[in-house]
Structure 1
Amino acid sequence: MSAELAEVTEAFLQSLAAQRLSEHTIKNYRRDLQQLLGFAGRESLTDWAVLSSKQLRKFIAENHRSGLSARSIHRQLSAIRSFYRYLVRQGLSEHNPAVAVQAPKTEKRLPSTLDVDQTNALLDATPEDTFVASRDRAIMELLYSSGLRVSELAALDLRDIDFAEQLVHVIAGKGGKGRIVPMGRQAINAIKHWLEMRDRRGFFSEQALFVSQQGRRLGVRSIQQRLSYWGKRLGISDKVHPHRLRHAFASHMLESSGDLRAVQELLGHADISTTQVYTHLDFQHLAKVYDAAHPRAKKRS
């Protein structure tokens, strides 16, 4: 390993410390650049200015083959780009070889979801005998029934619920786009029961659909905390939060209907590729359909 390369690298890390970056960030930069130093030694480099994009692609490929995750490689390339921006500013390099190098695509994190039995257990076991319990039951039923984002649910007003048509008017959707989605029978019954409990408190002037015991609109954080509470109380093995009920809605709808475009509309996704992430959740169901329907897949009796 060239002492000159190591000296320049250390100067860069010291400059990060001077910028008051966190110790954790600097530690990551140091580890990534130490790996690059090792590669530079194997390539017999004595000047950072001569490292080419082709050589850097070789370095990335070696790391990928050795099992380094795409996410870690993204972080590594980010560190190298920052390092070379420093070198260019210092007049130690005329180019940044990392600009032309792309990391492997990261795998999309698949959304965790509740299966049908878990969802039914959560909803059916939540009581409706108190103001808070009745409200929380209505919240969960509506999240699962209509696939709402928690921010959309928190923003709902009384006028947004159409019992006659069994619809929810989502005004504050993501990106400011509204949509209309159906409500199921269980959600309608739960909301009606909640409104009876609410009226007993006399909160007639507040337009928000879901309110606290003080009669104020319930916020996103409070809704998250209430679902977590019921998940723990009812012994649901996995953590319960609003987005998991939205995931459950999407995956269960896809499993039953197979209509990706309809689920896209219900979820309010601008791009169908966002909805496609849910297709993995019903893969076993699709595999069974394939085995039963495809002429060359049918098992012999």
Structure 2
Amino acid sequence: MSSSEPEHCPGIDSEQAGKSAACAGCPNQGVCSGGELRSAAKDTEQDYYEIARKLSSIKHIIIIMSGKGGVGKSTVATQLARFIAFNDSESNVGLLDVDICGPSIPKTMGVENEEIFNSASGWSPIFVEDNLAVMSCGFLLESLDDAVIWRGPRKNGIIKQFLRDVDWSDELDYLIIDTPPGTSDEHLSLVSYLKFCQNVRGAIMVTTPQEIAQMDVRKQIEFCRKVKLPIIGYLENMSVFVCPKCSKENYIFKSKSTRPSTLEEKYGIKLLGRLPIDPIIGKSCDEGKSLFNDNNKLLDNRIHQAFEDLWNNLCKEINQSKE
């Protein structure tokens, strides 16, 4: 449609759409008078209500975002989901991968060779643990090496299906949604489809210490504010490298600073935690294994403490947002 509208445009929802005197000369008059746009708008709103109904039993929906690729967003989403499931065996966790063109969650979760099945109750997610389930576009590909060359409408369609048709069960406590970097069709579709959901707690921004990464996060903050998506806080990944021999802290990307970042000072976005650089984190994702299990003797206490801090701060922010 043309972006220009008559001064007194009745709007596509009006019975006078395309028929009012104000519509004379509008390039969209024929489309509006036919009712196609009004019908499409009603169908779309019905989708919103259907998705809200489908997801209403989930206690908390958390969206993981990053302004730039390569900052460890999917790693954070993966290990956060694993930490919650391990730390609280009574909580049921779902991890939804809506990075349509780069679905890495099946690999990081170690379930890349699994297939999903469709039943009368919807698509069945893949269970990694008894209380941890995963759904990703990667399960729909013949090979994870296949390129996904889809235009916006098809991406939107699969996201709608993931939100509406996946059978997470009625006892899901946390749904963590991993998104692609930047602000693209996937983000707009996701936020739109969750429009009527009352259990969306907000977004966690993942960044690294250097300014170029935080610059893109600031753009994503503006995106969230424009679409009215709450921001829970941000996580600084790859914050510090601790030498395994001498335990000296090395700030590879940026010098250590006791001052708040511009994300806190200018935007009021709270720091949820800092994750160190450690080879075991990358290794666990490459091998599709959890950092958190009773048999992991190599896990540095700093890593466990970092996720503990993230989890505690996340719970605090969620509880405050509900008040």
| Fold-level similarity (TM above 0.5) | no
Greater strand fraction, Structure 1 or Structure 2: 2
Structure number with higher relative contact order (C-alpha < 8 Å, ≥ 6 residues apart): 2
- Bigger-Rg structure (1/2): 1
Structure 2 length-normalised TM: 0.24
Structure 1 length-normalised TM: 0.25
